[in-house]
Structure 1
Amino acid sequence: MNHTALITGASRGLGAEFARLFASKGTNLILVARSEKELNDLKDELENTF
């Protein structure tokens, strides 16, 4: 079964930690944040790690 999580404030703090946690479990992620650069940095990190 595929799961999807929508995470707001995903570029840092708790939002980023939840993104890492859910990504480690194979969850599809929809990430929303104000900082496009920080969000892209997190996206790159998650793609390279998981």
Structure 2
Amino acid sequence: MARHKYRHTLSMDEYEFSHRIERTFLGIRSLVTRNSDALDFHNVSVWQVESALVT
């Protein structure tokens, strides 16, 4: 069976919103894949994510 990758394209508003959350609340520079575990994986707690989404 063939595997399919589904990729959701964000609108500019969604992109700006997610970028603001990752920088401001989570302290993540970028969510772009950089092919390095040290750069691609982040230690973020559930309550940090919850706080970022509720704020």
| Class of the TM-score when normalised by the shorter of the 2 chains | 0.3 to 0.5
Q: TM-score, normalised by structure 2?
A: 0.30
Ranked by relative contact order (alpha carbons within 8 Å, sequence separation 6 or more), the top structure is: 1
Work out which of the two has the higher radius of gyration on C-alpha atoms and give 1 or 2.
2
Q: TM-score, normalised by structure 1?
A: 0.32
